[in-house]
Structure 1
Amino acid sequence: MIKKHRAFLKWAGGKYSLAEKINANLPKANKLVEPFVGAGSVFLNSDYERYLLNDINADLINLYNEVKFNAAEYINDARKLFVAKTNDRETYYALRQQFNDSVDVYERSLLFLYLNRHGYNGLCRYNRSGGFNVPFGDYKKPYFPEAELEYFAEKAQKATFICESYEAVFRRLRKGNVVYCDPPYVPLSKTASFTSYAKQGFNLDDQANLALLAEHACQRGITVLISNHDTTLTRKIYDKAELSTLKVGRSISQNGSTRTKVDELFALYR
């Protein structure tokens, strides 16, 4: 049995539990391209010679590049933020403000990991001004993901991390690439869209445009797989793709017992 690897970040909608299903839909290729890499579970649990990994969240990509090029120092410095005296409400909000005020890339990368592991349920959310605004998580002892950071740093040597729009990433595609897209999902209800991964957002026009870009890439011989909620809207948007579904657990609740099963839709363009 192949060992699975967890991302070092907590991430709403992370694909750790679906990695095998996603990889089963992706053909062999010389490069896997992810326009919405998120926490990187597909990257960490796939086997390609090279990776092009993108996200619109600059803090996320800066963090990944720090881990890729400076793993030992980064891990040593980040560990200092995972001690008892930093795990209280007052310190959390002070460090959150420090993060929002900082323009130093390395400092922000350290604080981003701290906020991810100490904030409410690992959410990544910014207000309209670009300020990180996730509340304190109040965990007994937040986990410091040292082993996960070390594995990520090792695997990252095969990857290039970029911070561009998803449209720009599609313009980079070449024959021999395969694409997995994990965009912010279509909300299941008017009140369900709780997460803004970056202040730019991702609206319904973007959802439809992504499908169109996937169609065009497919016409060039490039396989594209997109995941999303299974709704009437997404089935209409992905009407040119091969569709499949499965049930997955998803919730933003800290209480695992309240997590419910929802339908996940895979749209495969090949």
Structure 2
Amino acid sequence: MKTQKTRAFLKWAGGKYTLTEQITQILPDAEKLVEPFVGAGSVFLNSDYERYHLNDINPDLIALYTILKRRPQQYINDARRFFITQNNHESAYYALRERFNHSQDDYERALLFLYLNRHGYNGLCRYNRSGGFNVPFGRYVRPYFPERELEYFAAKAKKATFTCLPFNQIFKRVRKNAVIYCDPPYVPINTTAMFTDYSSNGFSLDQQVELARLATHASQNRGIPVLISNHDVDFTRNIYQHAEIRGLKVKRSISQNGATRVPVSELFAYFRGHATV
């Protein structure tokens, strides 16, 4: 029985590391876990399924995961070379960020993606409307190189298939004996709190409604359980009306100052799959 939790090798705004126990307690047994919004992969890393289908709309993220799965030691050795004192300065960071934004090589982008994630402000992953990574320098004393976490991810990734597709296409591909966990970009608590620049396309309220519809359909018509995380607001309570809802308080902030992090209301919406005969 696995008791020690595993951290993702990427820093991630809204990552689910602190909630993995609650999530895995809700998720039912199945052969496969499907994640249409895998992010940094904390649920994948801290769950126990025979197979995984891990998807994300961010092509840099999925390219990194695919490379790490196929060439773990080469990737780790090459990525480590960026974690040197000379690169932990503002001028070096912006030069490497510019190099990343102009690179067309998947392997080089994968190396730089990890560097930017660990040296950029608060581990944010944000792109402008032109697709350029635009997170500012983070000013950390000594950015951590996550070698052990990379090795663990690479080993477990042997069980996983990675794709970079819209979430609705993932729902179409899911078959019986699978369970779906969705951690989409959250509905804003207010109009100034929307954080949708994770990919250059954003995530609209219409897409939130479509995700809820697909979850309802998968559960009621195909017998596939779906669990969704989101903010606990009137909008989500309404679109998840066919789910079992569990509210919780979570300390969440996109801020370097931990003292400013205050509890916010989140929810789990569990669409319990009804077995079809």
Q: TM-score range by the shorter chain?
A: over 0.9
Hey, what does 1:136 align to over in structure 2?
137
Runs of 5+ unmatched residues, structure 1: none
Q: Where in structure 2 are the equivalents of 1:197-236 lying within 5 Å? A: 197-219=198-220, 220-236=222-238
Distance 2:190 2:136 in 1: 23
Hey, what does 1:188 align to over in structure 2?
189
- Displaced runs of 4+ in structure 1, greater than 4 A? none
Measured against aligned partners, the alpha-carbon deviations of 1:9-64 in whole angstroms (never above 9, x if no partner) come to 00000000000100011100000000000000000000000000000000000000
Indicate conservation of the 8 Å contact 1:250/1:259, yes or no: yes
Measured against aligned partners, the alpha-carbon deviations of 1:170-217 in whole angstroms (never above 9, x if no partner) come to 000101110000000001111112341111111000000000000110
Is the counterpart of residue 164 in structure 1 residue 165 in structure 2? yes
Measured against aligned partners, the alpha-carbon deviations of 1:56-101 in whole angstroms (never above 9, x if no partner) come to 0000000001110101000000000001000000000000000000
Indicate conservation of the 8 Å contact 1:124/1:195, yes or no: no
Measured against aligned partners, the alpha-carbon deviations of 1:223-248 in whole angstroms (never above 9, x if no partner) come to 00000000011001101110001111
Is the counterpart of residue 148 in structure 1 residue 149 in structure 2? yes
Distance 1:195 1:209 in 2: 16
Match of 1:255 among 243, 254, 257: 257
Hey, what does 1:244 align to over in structure 2?
246
Is the counterpart of residue 97 in structure 1 residue 98 in structure 2? yes
Q: How many residues were matched structurally?
A: 270
Aligned partner of residue 189 in structure 1, secondary structure: coil
Aligned partner of residue 129 in structure 1, secondary structure: coil
Runs of 5+ unmatched residues, structure 2: 273-277
Hey, what does 2:275 align to over in structure 1?
none
Distance 2:114 2:194 in 1: 23
Distance 1:248 1:92 in 2: 32
Distance 1:109 1:204 in 2: 30
Q: CA RMSD in A?
A: 0.7
Aligned partner of residue 74 in structure 1, secondary structure: helix
Distance 1:26 1:194 in 2: 26
Q: Where in structure 2 are the equivalents of 1:21-170 lying within 5 Å? A: 21-170=22-171
Hey, what does 1:175 align to over in structure 2?
176
Aligned-pair identity (%): 67
Which TM-score applies when normalising by structure 2? 0.96
Indicate conservation of the 8 Å contact 2:88/2:119, yes or no: yes
Indicate conservation of the 8 Å contact 2:185/2:195, yes or no: no
